């Protein structure tokens, strides 16, 4: 089983405007997850803010042997993550997964990208 069960994204921010065709070039952030194992992963996301208590958990299922790229913009339950707001995210899974964090920012005329493997305790 490849990966770990706890992951952290520290620089969360959904740019509040976009340039270009939606949804492909809509400004967004994604938590990109791999479950390379043989059992489905039950994943809880908790979102931390600068000025209020955390939101969540947001509950996801990442099927066995599948990629699962979750746009943070698309989370709605228990509440949307507001654009233009600093946040952090803790991701806890019941089986090992791997998480990479990516932002696409299309506020200006050509999009910008950033990505990093998320933090996992060792």
Which residues bind to a copy of itself, rule: CB under 8 A?
2-3, 6, 8-13, 19-20, 24-25, 30, 32-34, 36, 48-51, 53-54, 65-69, 84, 86-88, 90, 98-122
Q: Which is nearer to a copy of itself, 50 or 76 (CB)?
A: 50
Is the distance from CB of 39 to CB of 97 less than 8 angstroms? Answer: no
Residue 16, CA distances (Å) to 13, 29, 37 in order: 9, 11, 36
Is the distance from CB of 44 to CB of 57 less than 8 angstroms? Answer: yes
Six token digits for residue 62? 């990442």
Q: Which is nearer to a copy of itself, 50 or 77 (CB)?
A: 50
Minimum distance, C-beta of residue 45 to a copy of itself, in the bound complex (Å): 13
């Amino acid at each position: 089983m490849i990966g770990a069960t706890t992951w952290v994204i520290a620089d969360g921010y959904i740019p509040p405007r976009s340039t270009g065709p939606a949804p492909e070039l809509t400004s967004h952030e994604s938590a990109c997850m791999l479950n390379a194992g043989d059992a489905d992963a039950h994943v809880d996301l908790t979102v931390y803010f600068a000025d209020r208590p955390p939101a969540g958990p947001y509950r996801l299922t990442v099927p066995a042997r599948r990629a699962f790229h979750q746009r943070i913009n698309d989370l709605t339950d228990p509440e949307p993550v507001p654009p233009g707001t600093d946040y952090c995210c803790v991701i806890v899974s019941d089986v090992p997964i791997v998480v990479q964090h990516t932002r696409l920012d299309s506020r200006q005329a050509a999009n910008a990208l950033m990505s990093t493997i998320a933090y996992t305790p060792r």
